[in-house]
Amino acid sequence: MSLLEAREALSFPPGNSGNLTDTVIDNVHFNLTTLEHWNYTYFSNGTLSNGSWCFLTFPPYTPAYVFPNGTFLNATKCWSPTESIRERGGVAIGYAVLFGITLILTLVNLHKHGRLHLPAEKRFYPIGRRWQWYWASFVCATAMVSLFVSIDVDRYYLPELPVILTTFFWYLMQMGTVALVWEAVRHWGSWMERQFIDPDPFTLRQDDRRARVELYLPLLFYLFLWLNFFMIVPRKWSAIQHQRSPEQTLLEAAPSATDSRFKAGAFMLVGCWLVTVFSLRHSIKYYCPQNRGIFNRIIGFVRYTPLRFALIIPLAAALIAYQILVAFRFEYGPVKVGGNDAAIFVGGYTPSFLILVVQIVFGLINPNEDRELQRQRRERNQVLNREMGIVPKPSWWRRVNGEYMDPNEGMRERLMRNVREVHGTKPAASATVSGADAQHEGLGVPLDMTPISSPPLASPRVTRPPMQPYTGRSERRREERTAELAAGLLYPIAAQNSAATAARRREELMKDGPPPSYTETVRGAQPTPNSAPNQIRSMLDV
């Protein structure tokens, strides 16, 4: 007995002859007094129900016995998947597999375009480029749930929870698809702005009409999307499952699925679509070459619209149009049990799937935005170098000329490289630059291993004066001597000149003899009785 046939109350079949308390249903005897006591009614669709409980009575689901308390033995409820998978369930499995593949590719694109290769900027948050892929993942997940649950819509003998779940997640999928299209268009405008201001950050102001429009457009879009969610989701969904007979469907399910809230929610998506188109027009106006005149502006809008948006925006319009149709015509929507399968999948799931395919294909083709920005910067630098006549040296130039900087070099190697730069010399071709065998040019002695107190090196090019360690108590003098020692190691020529100057100054001071001792120049010192009087030799002794 099909659930779409008339569900009429019938009288209980007669039982054994002469026994008024017995009834036989499919060769099984039941106590008629017990059934009537618990208000059970026998219906023409093969069910036995009292308004609270419903059981199947046709083979092989016929109950074996009914107890006096109204409990059935080996009974099967009416809301059980007893039917085989039909066309709607088979097509739903295929669509669910396709959405599962798109989910995997969406995660691949999220990893590709969500990675950062440049420092994050306050003006362009990294999450802005990821939102479209977040919404794409949401669409894939809700579509798969709706499709897998819709397999049981036709398998249940009487409609119940599956038709509610498949309709609920289908509406969520519609909202996610519209949000996906919006985020793709919005982020494209943000990407165009980033390319526009990258050469000159002060080209566009952040407090003009353009910036204010870009601030309020997302708020307006998500206001319409939230209104769509508020009109559809928070409601009593149980009336939709009341499709157990044509009369019940006409009186309860159809009015509930096509009420004013569903109609208003569908038109909220129209507002979302208009905001998306306006955002695309706004980005083309400010970040693409401008055109004068109405017709030229229309031509420019069509010309500068990316191919991706030329595909997904009409698909989003078709999706919204189908939701409006479902809000007025109950028989074409996914909420109808045994409805038009072609309309359900072509109008309900195909636009969302095609939008995901377009997004994935262009996501795999387009490079990461940070990588693209780095490429544009390199091209601009090359143009500037050509204009200024700068010819950059090839990468092998530093290696050939001994200017290669080993990332693993230690402090000794760095000191050696600094010394060579000061001298203006280069290491021999056969020498290996290392801390153990790096030799100073023409000396044969490791430069950084020379003792500090060693005698001057016999070299016609470098004469390093000996540096005696400071043994006094003055911390300031010790720091100065340490600084002189470090300067002598890093810059030997300058240290040589400084030492030569100090030696020449010392020689000039020693021409008149050594300076007097401290005891001879103490002021106020009185001669002893046995000592000879001091002789004043110069004005310095006074």
pLDDT at 448: 39
Q: Which of 103-107, 162-166, 519-523 is the most confident on average?
A: 103-107
Q: What number is the average pLDDT over the span 154-177?
A: 91
Structure tokens at 430: 């056969």
Residue 524: predicted pLDDT: 47
The amino acid at 57? T
Q: Which two tokens stand for residue 479?
A: 């720091």
Tokens representing 5 are 């046939």
**Dihedrals φ, ψ of 387, to 5°?**
-65, -35
Which is more confidently placed, 534 or 268? 268
Collapsed DSSP state (helix, strand, coil) of residue 47: strand
d(CA 457, CA 460): 9
Cβ-count burial 354-377 (b if 16+ within 10 Å, e if not):
ebbbbbbebbeeeebbbeebeeee
Span of 32-46, 102-116, 268-282 with lowest mean pLDDT: 32-46
What gap in Å lies between CA 158 and CA 69, rounded to an integer?
25
Q: Is the pTM of this model over 0.75?
A: no
| Structure tokens belonging to residue 411 | 């402090």
- Chain segment 179-210, per-residue pLDDT in tens: 999 999 999 999 999 998 888 888 888 888 99
> What string of DSSP letters covers 453-467?
TSPPP--SS--PPP-
Determine phi and psi for 5, rounding to 5 degrees: -75, 165
Burial level of 180, CB count in 10 A (0-12/13-18/19+)?
Answer: buried
pLDDT exceeds cutoff 50 at 160: yes
Give the per-residue pLDDT at 499.
66
Per-residue pLDDT, 292: 76
Residue 534: pLDDT above 50?
Answer: yes
Contacts of 210 (CB under 8 A, 6+ apart): 204, 282, 286
**278: confidence class by pLDDT, cuts 50, 70, 90:** very high
* Cα 170 → chain centroid: 25
User: What is the C-alpha to C-alpha distance for residues 430 and 463, in angstroms, rounded to an integer?
Assistant: 26
CA dist 183 and 209 (Å) reads 21
Contacts of residue 306, Cβ cutoff 8 Å, sequence gap at least 6: 188
The two tokens of residue 253 are 């399910």
Preceding amide of 306 cis, omega within 30: no
Which domains can be identified in the chain, with CATH numbers?
9-73 (no CATH), 87-379 (1.20.1070), 413-496 (no CATH)
pLDDT of residue 433: 43
Q: What confidence tier does 6 reach under pLDDT thresholds 50, 70, 90?
A: very low
CA dist 315 and 355 (Å) reads 7
Q: Tokens 């669409």 — which residue?
A: 139
Residue 376: pLDDT above 50? yes
Q: How far apart are CA 144 and CA 466, in angstroms?
A: 84
pLDDT value of position 315: 96
Give residue 479's pLDDT: 79
Nearest to 131 by CA among 116, 104, 109, 100: 109
282: CB partners within 8 A, 6+ apart: 189, 210, 213, 214, 217
Please compute the mean of the pLDDT values over residues 239-251 and round it to a whole number: 86
Kindly indicate the confidence band of residue 401, based on its pLDDT and cuts at 50, 70 and 90.
low
Give the pLDDT band (50/70/90) at residue 530. Answer: low
Question: What is the chain's mean pLDDT, rounded?
Answer: 80
pLDDT at res. 300: 82
**294-319 as b/e, with b when 16 or more CB fall inside 10 Å?**
eeeeeebbeebbeebbebbbebbbeb
Express each pLDDT in 480-514 by its tens digit: 777 777 777 776 666 666 667 777 767 776 666 66
Smallest CA-to-CA distance from 188 within 311, 287, 60, 46 is with: 287
Q: What is the pLDDT of residues 338-372, one digit of tens each?
A: 888 899 999 999 999 999 999 999 999 999 999 99
The Cα angle at residue 346 between residues 342 and 352, in degrees rounded to 5 = 150
Q: What is the mean pLDDT of residues 511-534?
A: 54
